[in-house]
Amino acid sequence: MQYRRLGNSGLQVSQLSLGSWVTYANQVNVKAAKEMLALAADHGVNFFDNAEVYASGKS
C-alpha cells in the first residue's frame, strides 16, 4: 500500500480508501461489511470514508 501525508498533521493515509456508503438500504449485510473492513485493514488501508448520515447512522 502506498501512503500520503495528510496536510501538516503528520498522519500517513493510504492512497486507497474504503467508503461505507454502500451500507445504504441494507445492500451489504453486517457480516460482509465486517469482512470487507478487516480485509482492507489487513492490506494496509487506513483511510475509511464514514459518516453518521450514511445509512441513517448504520454505516
Residues annotated catalytic, as ranges: 54
First-to-last C-alpha distance (Å) of the chain? 24
Specify whether the CB–CB gap between 11 and 41 falls below 8 A.
Answer: no
Instruction: Tell me the C-alpha distance between 36 and 40, whole Å.
Output: 6
